[in-house]
Amino acid sequence: MTVEREGSRAEGGPNLIHVHACIHCGYLLRREEVDSRQVASGVYYCPKCDLDGPLNVKILDAAELEANRSGLQCNGSNG
């Protein structure tokens, strides 16, 4: 079920998605790309830098995910 609100994608607003960001390199994965065992344990394995770390949940515009995967890194730290 989809709930559309003011400023939603249907009205030209941002296309917000739930991602997990590696705290080491900033690589982003969509929620559906993360194994359910990683979500249950709270420990995320990054396929890019080959390191483990805590899940780092972010809500981003889909364009930010595409920019990250195109080589533009987001800052992996929360600050």
- Assign 50 a pLDDT band (cuts: 50, 70, 90): very high
Give the residue extent of every domain in the chain.
16-69
Encoded tokens for 30: 């969509």
- Assign 67 a pLDDT band (cuts: 50, 70, 90): confident
Q: Residue 40: enclosing H or E segment and its boundaries?
A: helix 36-41
Whole-number pLDDT of residue 24 = 95
Does residue 7 have a pLDDT over 70? no
* Residue at 29: amino acid letter: L
Whole-number pLDDT of residue 12 = 66
* CA nearest to 44, candidates 69, 24, 18: 24
43 within 8 A of 4, measured Cβ to Cβ: no
Instruction: State residue 36 phi and psi, 5-degree precision.
Output: -60, -25
Whole-number pLDDT of residue 31 = 87
Does residue 78 have a pLDDT over 80? no
